[in-house]
């Protein structure tokens, strides 16, 4: 008995080892390196091993850091909110209003069409659309809704959030749709038989049961937005900054230790955020 279980243990460990090795090599090791380098020093063109807190000290003393982290959270929360509304609505429509499976699959695939081109192309294509002389402004002006072109359409925080929502809404649709499809339809019928209104069914049955999907989608959106730098750079015309841009600027100027320190803080922030989110829903249990 005892012997058999150790053999099983061994097989289990062996089966898990490829994943373990991959994670250790490509996740744990790089993160350890980043943490180590964040204590190093930098000269104009080189970095040297050291153990100093200068990078962190500068980070925490600079008002820019706080402003930029605040901005990052702001982008995250607004994007998350709109992605949730859009994602939930689309998933709800697909799961409960479209009754044939064929149509559900067809419409779902339709949602993925934008993913056939790259992230950056989808983002940049907004620029001529939103510009001062772009299609949006010209249409609005010819319709007589506005007299002067709207300046805030492009190179603004509005443009950044718009691009984020466009890029990441699908990450919300997919997991929510997935959990919705697994809701037992007889529950909905039972609710209606018991006299619940549509809204009551939504709040008492559908939302509680799709919580894990919402949470998985939220984690996707939050991590993607908090780690982004290129969308913010292009859509704000380099005028806004989030933490990702701070890091990319540092990297571009060869200040790796400083970039590493910012990355470590960002990593901790994201982990705490996700930790808080997971307090609301126990994904493991619900799945």
How far apart (Å, rounded) are the C-alpha atoms in residues 77 and 269?
14
Shortest distance (Å) from residue 276 CB to other proteins: 26
Q: Closer CB to other proteins, residue 72 or residue 179?
A: 72
As a residue count, the chain comes to 287
Positions that interact with other proteins (CB under 8 A): 44-46, 58, 62, 64, 67-68, 127-128, 131-133, 151, 154-155, 233, 236-239, 241, 245-246, 249-250, 252-255
Q: Closer CB to other proteins, residue 203 or residue 239?
A: 239
Structure-token pair, residue 67 = 């402003």
Shortest distance (Å) from residue 144 CB to other proteins: 22
Q: What is the bridge-based pairing of β-strands 41-42 and 47-48?
A: antiparallel
Q: Closer CB to other proteins, residue 62 or residue 89?
A: 62
Look at residues 272, 236, 265 and name the one whose alpha carbon lies nearest to residue 66. 265
Q: Closer CB to other proteins, residue 166 or residue 245?
A: 245
For 42, which DSSP code? E
Q: Are 229 and 75 in contact (CB under 8 A)?
A: no
Shortest distance (Å) from residue 64 CB to other proteins: 5
* b/e per residue 89-124 (b: at least 16 CB within 10 A): ebbbebbbeeeeeeebeeebeebeeeeeeebeeebe
Shortest distance (Å) from residue 131 CB to other proteins: 5
Q: Closer CB to other proteins, residue 253 or residue 271?
A: 253
Shortest distance (Å) from residue 214 CB to other proteins: 32
How far apart (Å, rounded) are the C-alpha atoms in residues 271 and 142?
48
């Amino acid at each position: 008995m005892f012997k058999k279980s150790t053999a099983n243990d061994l097989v289990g460990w062996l089966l898990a080892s490829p994943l373990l090795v991959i994670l250790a090599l490509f996740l744990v090791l790089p993160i350890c390196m980043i943490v180590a380098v964040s204590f190093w020093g930098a000269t104009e063109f080189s970095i040297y091993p050291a153990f100093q807190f200068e990078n962190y000290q500068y980070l925490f003393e600079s008002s820019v850091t706080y402003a930029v982290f605040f901005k990052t959270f702001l982008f995250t929360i607004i994007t998350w909110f709109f992605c949730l509304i859009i994602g939930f609505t689309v998933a709800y429509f697909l799961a409960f209003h479209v009754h044939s499976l064929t149509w559900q699959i067809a419409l779902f695939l339709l949602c993925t069409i934008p993913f056939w081109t790259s992230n950056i192309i989808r983002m940049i294509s907004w620029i001529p659309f939103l510009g001062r002389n772009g299609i949006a402004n010209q249409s609005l002006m010819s319709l007589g809704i506005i007299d002067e072109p709207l300046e805030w359409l492009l190179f603004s925080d509005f443009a950044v959030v718009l691009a984020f929502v466009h890029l990441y809404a699908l990450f919300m649709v997919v997991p929510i749709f997935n959990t919705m499809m697994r809701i037992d339809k007889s529950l909905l019928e039972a609710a209606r038989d018991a006299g619940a209104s549509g809204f009551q069914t939504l709040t008492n049955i559908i939302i509680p049961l799709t919580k894990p999907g919402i949470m998985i989608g939220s984690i996707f959106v939050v991590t993607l937005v908090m780690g982004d730098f290129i969308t913010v750079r292009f859509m704000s015309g380099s005028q806004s900054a989030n933490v990702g841009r701070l890091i990319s600027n540092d990297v571009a100027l060869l200040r790796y230790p400083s970039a590493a320190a910012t990355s470590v803080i960002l990593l901790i922030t994201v982990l705490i955020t996700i930790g808080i989110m997971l307090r609301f829903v126990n994904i493991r249990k619900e799945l």
